[in-house]
Structure formats: C-alpha cells, structure tokens
Amino acid sequence: MPWAHIDERFPWNWRVRFLSDGAFRLYVSAICWTGGNPTGRVITMRELRVVVDARAPRRQAEELVAARLFEELPGVGWRIHDYHD
C-alpha cells in the first residue's frame, strides 16, 4: 500500500491553518492521490472529483492556489506546490 508523509506540525503551518475544511481535505487527499498514482504532483481536472468527493472541488482548488499550495495548470488541472521537491 502506498503511503504519504505529512509532518506532525502540518495542521499548524501558516498556509494550512486557515484553510476551509473542504480545502484542507482536498489538499491531504491530493497528497495521498499523487503518492499512489503515476501522475507526479498533478491532479487533472478529470481526476479532481475522484480525489475528493465534495460539492465544490474547483472552488477548493482555487482556495489552495490562493494559499500557494496548488499551482494552476491551465487546461490541465493543478500541481501540488513544493511536494516531492
């Protein structure tokens, strides 16, 4: 089974601390998704609803872009910023 490493101080990181619950869940789910799939750090638009079952996943992805946790890839989807670097 693949696994993902998250620092034990992660919930208190200044970029993460004030995320909405949905954006927080999307971010953690995206880390897990990319750890177990050959997509690198990229979540495609098509995969977004598979990664997280949410009412407004695009809005949550936009929140992660604003927090500099996701990078938008126009026409493709999103890349997790600084993950696997």
Q: Say if strands 77-80 and 70-73 run parallel, antiparallel, or are unpaired.
A: antiparallel
pLDDT at 45: 87
Confirm if 78 and 39 have CB atoms less than 8 A apart: no
Q: Give φ, ψ of 56 to 5 degrees.
A: -135, 65
Over its length of 85 residues, how does the chain's per-residue pLDDT go in tens digits?
567 788 899 999 998 999 999 999 999 988 888 877 776 678 888 888 888 877 788 999 999 999 999 999 999 999 998 865 5
Query: Residue type at 27?
Result: Y
Distance CA 16, CA 10 (A): 7
- At 71, which helix (H) or strand (E)? strand 70-73
pLDDT at 59: 92
Distance CA 14, CA 8 (A): 14
Distance CA 70, CA 19 (A): 13
